[in-house]
Amino acid sequence: MEPDLQQNCRASSTGLLASLEPLRGQTILVTGGTGFMGKWMAEAVVFLNLQHNFGITLYLLSRNTEAFRNTVPHLARQPFIRLLEADVRNVRDLPENISYVIHAAATPDRREHATQPLRVIETILKGTISVLDASLRLPLLNKFLYISSNNVYGQTHNNTNGIAENSIGYLDSNSINAAYPEAKRLAETICAVYRNQQKLPVVTVRPFAFTGPYQDLEKPWALNNFMRDAILGGPIRILGNEHTVRSYLYGSDMAFWLLAILSSPKPANTYNLGSPEGISMTHLAEKIAASFHHKIDIVIKSAKDDNTHYSVVIPDLSTLTRDIPVKKAISLDEAIAATLQWYQHHSTIA
C-alpha cells in the first residue's frame, strides 16, 4: 500500500495550525522548488489549502519544471501551485505578490560537489545574490528564508546533545569537500549583509538529514543506500565507521517546521532544522533490515581497525523550540516504513 502523504501532513501539522495563520492568503516562493524540499512544501500547501482553506499560492522555481510535471502530476495540476522555469543565477523579476521566499536552490548531492565544485559555488553565490536582489523588489515581502546546510558546522566536537547554532567547527578550506560548505557559509554572510544593509527580513535555516518519499534511492546518503541494499536483497553495507551517529527528519515534519519558521514573528535568526534523535549506522542498518521479512545481512567496510572515534551530527533544537512550538510527529520507524512503501511504488529497483 502506498503511504498517504496527506495523512502524514495532517500528523505533522497537529499543534502548528494556529501558528501558521499568518500564511493564510499569502504567496510563497521556493527556489530549487522541484526537489525533495519543494515537493514536500507542495504537499503541505495542498493539505493546508484543501483541508483548511488557507488559500496559499505556491511558486516553485526550478531549471526543469517538466520533470516536476511528470513525476508529481497530482501536485503540478493544483491551480495554486505554479511553476517558474529559470536558472536561479539569472533570476531578475519575480511575481510581485510573493510575500515569503524560501531560497533552497543548491544540490546537497556530494557527488556534484566533488565533480563540479566551481559550478556548485557559482550556483550558491550567484543564485543567492540574484534571489536576494529580486526579493528586494518585492513590495509585500514578509520573510526571506535562506536554506543553508549543517555542513557549515564543519568538524565539531562530538556532542550527543547536538550541535548548537553557535558551535561552528573546523572546516578545511583546501579539502575537495569544501566547495559546498564554504559557499554555504559565504551565502549565509551575504544574506546577513542584505539583512543588515537592506533591512531584508532574512532568517537562516541549517537543515540536517531528511528522509521520506521523493528522495531518490540513488542519492549518496547512508539511509538511502541502506534501503537500496535491503530492497535488492542485501547485504546492507556500512561504509566507514559503524558508530557514526546521524538523525533523520521525515519530509512532512520538515515542511511544516519550515512553514512554522516562515510564519513566526521572530526576526533575524538562525535555526537548526532536523531530528534531534540520533542513531548509529549499525542501529539504522538493523532497523532497516528488520523491516523486511527475510534475513538481510549487514556488512561493515571500514579503512580503520580502531573505530572508537566517530562523528555525531545531530542538531541542538533549543533555539528553534524556544521560538516555535515544533514537535516531531513521524517517528523514524514510521518514516522508514513509509519510505520503503513509497519506493515499492515509485522506484524501478523495488
Partner 1 sequence: MKQILISDPTLRDGNHAVAHQLSAEQIAIYAAAANKARVPIVEVGHGNGLGASSLQVGESLVDDITMLTTAKKYLTFSKLGIHVIPGFATIQRDLKKAIELGVDVIRVAAHCTEADITQRHLGFAREKGKEAFGVLMMSHMAAPGLLVEEAQKMVQYGAEAIIIMDSAGALLPPDVTDRIEALVQDLPVPVGFHAHNNLGMATANSVAALQAGAKILDGTARGFGAGAGNAQLEVLVAVLEKMGYSTGIDLYGMLDAADIAEKNIMPSVPVIKSESIVSGLAGVFSGFSKHVARISKEYNVDQRDVYFALGKRKVVAGQEDIIIEVILDIVKNKQP
The binding site for partner 1 (CB under 8 A) comprises 110-111, 113-115, 175-177, 217-218, 220, 225, 228-229, 232-233, 237, 239-241, 301-305, 349
Q: HEC string of 290-337?
A: HCCCCCCCEEEECCCCCCCCCCEECECCHHHHHHCCCCCCCCHHHHHH
On the question of a cis peptide bond just before residue 79, with omega within 30 degrees of 0, the verdict is no
- CA 184, 249, 211, 263 dihedral sign is negative
Q: Which is nearer to partner 1, 77 or 301 (CB)?
A: 301
- Decide: helix, strand or coil at residue 47: helix
Provide, rounded to whole angstroms, the least separation between the CB of residue 176 and partner 1.
Answer: 5
Q: Which is nearer to partner 1, 227 or 336 (CB)?
A: 227
Provide, rounded to whole angstroms, the least separation between the CB of residue 114 and partner 1.
Answer: 4
Burial class of residue 117 (count of CB atoms within 10 Å of its CB; 0-12, 13-18, 19+): middle
Q: Which is nearer to partner 1, 103 or 113 (CB)?
A: 113
Q: Which is nearer to partner 1, 142 or 156 (CB)?
A: 156
Q: Which is nearer to partner 1, 71 or 302 (CB)?
A: 302
Provide, rounded to whole angstroms, the least separation between the CB of residue 219 and partner 1.
Answer: 10
Neighbours of 260 (CB within 10 A): 22
Q: For the chain, first and last CA: distance in Å?
A: 13
HSE-up (13 A, CA, CB side) for residue 73: 1
- CA 146, 151, 154, 159 dihedral sign is positive
Q: Which is nearer to partner 1, 92 or 295 (CB)?
A: 295
The answer to whether 206 touches 165, Cβ cutoff 8 Å, is yes
